Structure 1
Amino acid sequence: FFGYFELTVPESWTNKASQAEGRGGYIGIFFMALTLALVSFSCTGPILGSLLVGALSADGGAWQLTAGMGGFGLGLALPFGIFAAFPGMMKALPRSGGWLNSVKVVLGFLELGLALKFLSNADLVDHWNFLKIELFLILWIIIGIGLALYLLGVIKFPHDSPIQKIGTTRWSLAILTLAFVAYLMSGFRVDETKGSYKPLGALSGVVPPVCYSFWQPCDCPQQLDCFKDLEEGLAYAKENNKPVMLDFTGYACQNCRRMEENVWPEKEVYRYLKDDYVVISLYVDDKKPLPKPITVTTLNGRQRKLDEVGEKWAHFQQVFFNQNSQPQYVLMSPDGRRLNAPVNYTPDVKEYADFLQCGLENFRKLQQEKQLLGKQ
């Protein structure tokens, strides 16, 4: 890590697995694969662990695990297969040297940034309330400045080779890094009309949402009057005779943030959400415990106990709308009638505005029909 230390699996494990490769047959192939897995343990552990946990907790079961393991295995084996089929390509690979340690250090900076991103997801989902957007941006800015200084030779780490001259590659990467840092700094601009930070459009879903803030907090995206409970939202919609937009979303959903920060603020969309609809945001990854666990029947007929708010909304989405991906937007009347076909991630502003307009027109038609029936 940054040239100071390297975490590895005990050498005795890899040696024993490597010795067993000589047995031949399926056993030899198994130990050959085991050796590869042990050597690359730091990369495989989190991925395979997530697959196993996901297979146990989701409805996909064995098929989800099989697809995940198959894709991971194919990606891991593909380079070896290519070089085995075309051994001449190995001659074109660059030789190791001091540059390789520099690559490791640069990747160390990048891994720190990515670690903060995944920590931010956990912070959002579990409501730790500490890695908010200001702290996140400051830490990324510090990491970016550190990377730029390293590329320019100001900061050095153990095992770095002496830099005789800063080449074009280092200068280019340093300039790009500093430009990225400047872009991150622009994330502290405040939108006075909405009382929140202006979103970093290119990083929507990567950095925490602008509402998740120490100094400029807001409960709903774009300062909308949204609800996070289905019953409360429907009751408000009935009272005010407005259509409902069910927003199936997630705290760690990247495309959800892109919609909220890049599409919802546009005038032709915002006016519908602000004035015409009651937005009910249902977070399918909300880890808050339910007041009382509930037992439900899944689509494949199994009994499942739901302990968290997010599990409740995820089950609701799967059963009633046959979807388990987010975002999903469903327009409906307060009494539960769908107004048009639901849509998912829709980055095209006009298409999304047309979707909202269509739902509103259908809602008004329903109201007219009710009035006519009432007169009869």
Structure 2
Amino acid sequence: MKKIFFSFILLLTLAVSVNAQKVTPAKWSWALSKPNPAVGETVDIIFTLKMDKSWHHYASDFSPSVGPIVSTIKLKTNDSFEAVGGLKSIKSIKKHDDIFDGDVAYFEGKGEMRQSVKILKEKPIIEGTYDGQVCSDVTGQCVPVKGAFKLEGKAGAATDATAKKKTEDELKAEAEKTAATNTESTQQEEKAVPTTAVTENVADSVAESVSAPVAVSDSSTTISSTESTEEKPEEESILTFFLIALGVGLATCLTPCVYPLIPMTVSFFIKQKNGVGKAFLYGASIIGIYVLFGTVIAATLGQAAPNFISTHWFPNLLFFTIFIIFGLSFLGLFEIQLPSNFVNNVDAQSDRGGFIGIFFMAFTLALVSFSCTGPFVGTLLGLGASGKFVKPIIGMFGFGLGLASPFVLLALSPSLLKKIPKSGGWMNTIKVFFGFLELALALKFFSTVDQTYHWRILDREIFLAIWIATFTLMGLHLLGKFLMPHDDKVEKLSVGRLVVALSVFSFVVYLIPGLFGAPLKALSGLLPPTETQDFVLTRSSGEVAESSNPDFPKTVKYSSFLKLPHGIQGFFDYKDAVAYAQKVNKPIFIDFTGHGCVNCRKMEASVWSDPEVLKRLKNDYVVVALYVDDKTELPKSEWFTSKDDGLEKTTLGDQNLDFEITHFNANAQPYYCLVNPNEDAKPLVKPRAFDQDIKKFIEFLDAGKAKFEGK
């Protein structure tokens, strides 16, 4: 019976222990560029970073004011060396981050940073600490990276002619080998550092290596080393883009350049021997032509294209101009046509029999319909080129499949030809509809440049005002209230027009509250950030809310530079929160957050903003936000040495992160804990990580309150 009892206790302990484990998704290693540096020689400390798949580590070459933690090192000065310059990131990836509205630099998979030092004595001892941040592309969790390093040079470096010289590549290979095979803890390494130029440290220097998949709190997402879990978001993104491209291809078939050709082409194949097979070959040729075009674009742009397009002013302004030109063309200002001689020469080749003739028939279709298909193709390539390398290829495959489908399907069922609508003015209405859509999408590319270079031309309210005007005109055109030069007068309104017009006007109504600061969550990836908006109605209500509780302290520690969203009253120091919670007899809501935590902002925008969640946070809890990446230096009287890693904690962020690790065995953010102020940070219920399920978050808050009240 005792064995069964103790086995049960052991299993229970293991189950509890995996609720929140410290995550170690990155490893640092370091080496000198020359193992035996001579006195007076300048060498590099090479920091090699290795990240787990689907994680990225922020580099050192961007402004700390953007938000994420910039990688830094601090060298302990001594008389054996001196620093030369600052920390340099080697080939970091640069992009514009829409969440933080600024340019960031980071590494994926592997990264390298260097710090130059001048050797002043033989046997130099170089030691210091490093600081950074690694974030997941899958769950959005961010983990602060902190640790210490130490390097020792060998004696007789300047005169030992027989010493074996290693290249930098050999040193880095040795560092990686050491990082892969070393299983000793960080504290053991620091006590006995070998006299080689290489040592290694786990990313956050406070967590033990976890070989099994790591469960993150009770979030539905598990950080695992399995490829299937990590590839899912990317696969979903590409699938979504393919479906959009397929839909665009089908929509192109309704334009005046393509629709009249469908019955003519299908009738031609029906009259031929083996007509269905030739129709399939015709459709395959259309798909092949566009896939080939997409492949050429992808190969021309290369793997670096997504980052270049997302950050540089030139491609964004180029796509902005192209979208404007295509939009005006669809509205009827001018026609975009290819040279007639070129089109005629290609058409002549279609008279040849066999596969060659059918292929050139498909090529002719692509050319003669260019004035209608060109804007669609340009739009897809503009959106696809800013994503993965394969996106232009996937986009053109989907577009070609959509364009070819009616020709093949109608050849299989010729009787359907009699049921399709006749050509008419409705096709021009479709062109104008997409013309307005092109003009609206063009603003996204200009907005990227505007935010990157801080021009403040296209602030959020200006962007929304243009969109509201554009989609209002689109709706009025669908109703026939105003006509473009090539439009026919609308005598009667069809049900289809009415339904589409209602959808457009509903979208306009949805946009209008955004002028007053409504978040418009469904469009957050397209609109400029709320911070660029001059007037936000909720800011005023938030200010009123902050002064609504007369018992709340008039001054809150760190409130001069830290704020809570949505007018929530709260603290930024745990001890202050405990004292107030004991006074008002409420449980504490601990928000482990960070300035550079993207998913923390998402939770605040999509979950905290819910009226039911906000009511509970304001009325049922004492909220304390503990920033784990804040660099505010604490008074020396508040410095302490961590019991977890033995390092001295001197900043507000260091203190908060150590509190999260030592009390909750977690180091990722966002992380939410409900505790009783009368107990030593003991969770009332199981903490939560990133999860945008509002219902579950409300249940989490209600369960914590019920447990506190003893219900």
TM-score by length of 1: 0.55
1:225 offset after TM fit, Å? 4.5
Residue aligning to 2:476: 149
Q: Quick one: distance in 1 between partners of 2:353 and 2:627?
A: 66
Residue aligning to 1:41: 374
Q: Please tell me whether Structure 1 or Structure 2 has the larger radius of gyration of its CA atoms.
A: 2
Larger helix fraction of residues: 1
Residue aligning to 2:459: 132
In the alignment, structure 1 residue 77 sits paired with structure 2 residue 391: no
- Which residue, out of 344, 350, 354, partners 1:15? 344
1:216 offset after TM fit, Å? 4.3
Residue aligning to 1:95: 422
Residue aligning to 1:200: 520
2:479 and 2:493 in contact (8 A); partners too: yes
In the alignment, structure 1 residue 213 sits paired with structure 2 residue 536: no
Q: Quick one: distance in 2 between partners of 1:274 and 1:130?
A: 37
1:8 offset after TM fit, Å? 2.6
1:101 offset after TM fit, Å? 1.9
Q: Runs of 5+ in structure 2 lacking a partner?
A: 1-329, 544-560, 564-571, 577-589, 631-655, 671-687, 703-711
When residues 76 and 161 of structure 1 are mapped into structure 2, their CA distance, relative to the original with a 3 A threshold, is: closer
In the alignment, structure 1 residue 247 sits paired with structure 2 residue 584: no
Q: Quick one: distance in 2 between partners of 1:84 and 1:148?
A: 36
**Alignment partner of 1:275: what SS?**
strand
Q: Runs of 5+ in structure 1 lacking a partner?
A: 56-60, 190-196, 227-235, 250-255, 282-331, 358-376
1:225 and 1:278 in contact (8 A); partners too: no
**Alignment partner of 1:276: what SS?**
strand
Q: Quick one: distance in 2 between partners of 1:75 and 1:211?
A: 40
1:117 and 1:207 in contact (8 A); partners too: yes
1:205 and 1:258 in contact (8 A); partners too: no
- Encode CA deviations 1:7-56: one digit per residue, 9 max, x unaligned: 2333333332233334456655654554444433332234346656756x
Residue aligning to 2:487: 160
Letter in 1 for 2:338: V
1:199 and 1:210 in contact (8 A); partners too: yes
In the alignment, structure 1 residue 4 sits paired with structure 2 residue 333: yes
Q: Quick one: distance in 2 between partners of 1:113 and 1:159?
A: 21
1:264 offset after TM fit, Å? 3.8
**Alignment partner of 1:211: what SS?**
helix
Residue aligning to 2:515: 188
- Encode CA deviations 1:207-240: one digit per residue, 9 max, x unaligned: 333233134499xxx99948xxxxxxxxx99xx9
Letter in 2 for 1:18: D
Describe how 1:310-325 pairs up with structure 2 within 5 A. none
- Encode CA deviations 1:83-140: one digit per residue, 9 max, x unaligned: 3333333332211112222232233223322333454345445544322221112112
Instruction: Count residues with an aligned counterpart.
Output: 279
When residues 128 and 104 of structure 1 are mapped into structure 2, their CA distance, relative to the original with a 3 A threshold, is: same
Larger strand fraction of residues: 2
Q: Quick one: distance in 2 between partners of 1:26 and 1:211?
A: 58
Q: Quick one: distance in 2 between partners of 1:264 and 1:18?
A: 61
Q: Quick one: distance in 1 between partners of 2:490 and 2:442?
A: 29
1:204 and 1:258 in contact (8 A); partners too: no
In the alignment, structure 1 residue 276 sits paired with structure 2 residue 625: yes
Q: Quick one: distance in 2 between partners of 1:89 and 1:279?
A: 65
2:380 and 2:395 in contact (8 A); partners too: no
- Encode CA deviations 1:302-358: one digit per residue, 9 max, x unaligned: xxxxxxxxxxxxxxxxxxxxxxxxxxxxxx94699854799998441244678999x
1:4 and 1:157 in contact (8 A); partners too: no
Q: Quick one: distance in 1 between partners of 2:657 and 2:379?
A: 43
**Alignment partner of 2:350: what SS?**
helix
When residues 351 and 7 of structure 1 are mapped into structure 2, their CA distance, relative to the original with a 3 A threshold, is: farther
State the superposition RMSD in angstroms: 5.0
Q: Quick one: distance in 2 between partners of 1:129 and 1:110?
A: 24
When residues 11 and 126 of structure 1 are mapped into structure 2, their CA distance, relative to the original with a 3 A threshold, is: farther
Q: Quick one: distance in 2 between partners of 1:10 and 1:117?
A: 31
When residues 183 and 24 of structure 1 are mapped into structure 2, their CA distance, relative to the original with a 3 A threshold, is: same
1:3 and 1:101 in contact (8 A); partners too: no
1:247 and 1:279 in contact (8 A); partners too: no
Residue aligning to 1:108: 435
1:75 offset after TM fit, Å? 4.0
When residues 261 and 53 of structure 1 are mapped into structure 2, their CA distance, relative to the original with a 3 A threshold, is: closer
2:461 and 2:533 in contact (8 A); partners too: yes
Q: Quick one: distance in 2 between partners of 1:168 and 1:137?
A: 29
Q: Quick one: distance in 2 between partners of 1:106 and 1:127?
A: 32
**Alignment partner of 2:490: what SS?**
coil
When residues 265 and 277 of structure 1 are mapped into structure 2, their CA distance, relative to the original with a 3 A threshold, is: farther
1:273 and 1:279 in contact (8 A); partners too: no
In the alignment, structure 1 residue 263 sits paired with structure 2 residue 607: yes
1:145 and 1:178 in contact (8 A); partners too: yes
Q: Quick one: distance in 2 between partners of 1:15 and 1:257?
A: 57
- Encode CA deviations 1:146-193: one digit per residue, 9 max, x unaligned: 23433444422212223334555555555554444333222233xxxx
Letter in 2 for 1:133: R
Q: Quick one: distance in 2 between partners of 1:73 and 1:211?
A: 41
1:21 and 1:27 in contact (8 A); partners too: yes
- Encode CA deviations 1:269-321: one digit per residue, 9 max, x unaligned: 8959973343879xxxxxxxxxxxxxxxxxxxxxxxxxxxxxxxxxxxxxxxx
1:133 and 1:210 in contact (8 A); partners too: yes
Q: Quick one: distance in 1 between partners of 2:433 and 2:392?
A: 33
2:468 and 2:508 in contact (8 A); partners too: yes
TM-score by length of 2: 0.32
